[in-house]
C-alpha cells in the first residue's frame, strides 16, 4: 500500500524531488549573503562622510562594483525563493497563486535588473 496520492504519482514529485533542491538553494544563498552583506556594510561605513564624487568613484571601482552585483544577484534570488515558499504555503486559490507567483518572478527580475543597471552605470560612467 502506497501513501502517495494518485496526483503525486502522475506528477512524479515524491519525496525529495524538487523540495530539497529549493531548500538547499535557499540555504546556500542565505549563507552567501552573510559575508556579502558584511562587506556591503563595510563599504558603506567606509564611505560615510564622503562627498558625492568620492562615493560614486568608490562604488564605481571594479572590485566594489563586482561585489555589489554579487550582492544584488544573491539577495534578489534569495528573496524570490523565500516569497515563492510563502505564496505556495499561504495563497490557497489556484488562480490567485499563479498570479502571485508570476508577480513574484516579475518583481524579482525588475529589482535585480534595476540594481544591476545602477551599479553598471556607476561603474562604466554616464
What residues does each domain of the chain span? 22-124
Q: How far apart, in whole angstroms, are the C-alpha atoms of residue 22 and residue 84?
A: 10
pLDDT of 94: 93
pLDDT tens column, 8-32? 666 655 555 567 888 899 999 999 9
pTM of the model: 0.81
Residue 41 near residue 97, CB atoms below 8 Å: no
Residue 21 has a pLDDT of 86
Instruction: For residue range 29-71, list pLDDT tens digits in order.
Output: 999 999 999 999 999 999 999 999 999 999 999 999 999 999 9
Q: Which three cell numbers stand for residue 54?
A: 568620492
CATH code assigned to 22-124: 1.20.1300.10
Amino acid at each position: 500500500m502506497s501513501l502517495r496520492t494518485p496526483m503525486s504519482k502522475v506528477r512524479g514529485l515524491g519525496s525529495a524531488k524538487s523540495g530539497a533542491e529549493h531548500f538547499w538553494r535557499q540555504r546556500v544563498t542565505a549563507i552567501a549573503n552573510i559575508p556579502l552583506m558584511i562587506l556591503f556594510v563595510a563599504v558603506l561605513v567606509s564611505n560615510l562622510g564622503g562627498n558625492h564624487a568620492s562615493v560614486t568613484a568608490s562604488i564605481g571601482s571594479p572590485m566594489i562594483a563586482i561585489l555589489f552585483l554579487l550582492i544584488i544577484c544573491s539577495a534578489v534570488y534569495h528573496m524570490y525563493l523565500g516569497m515563492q515558499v510563502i505564496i505556495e504555503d499561504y495563497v490557497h486559490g489556484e488562480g490567485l497563486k499563479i498570479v502571485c507567483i508570476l508577480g513574484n518572478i516579475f518583481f524579482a527580475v525588475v529589482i535585480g535588473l534595476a540594481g544591476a543597471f545602477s551599479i553598471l552605470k556607476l561603474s562604466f560612467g554616464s
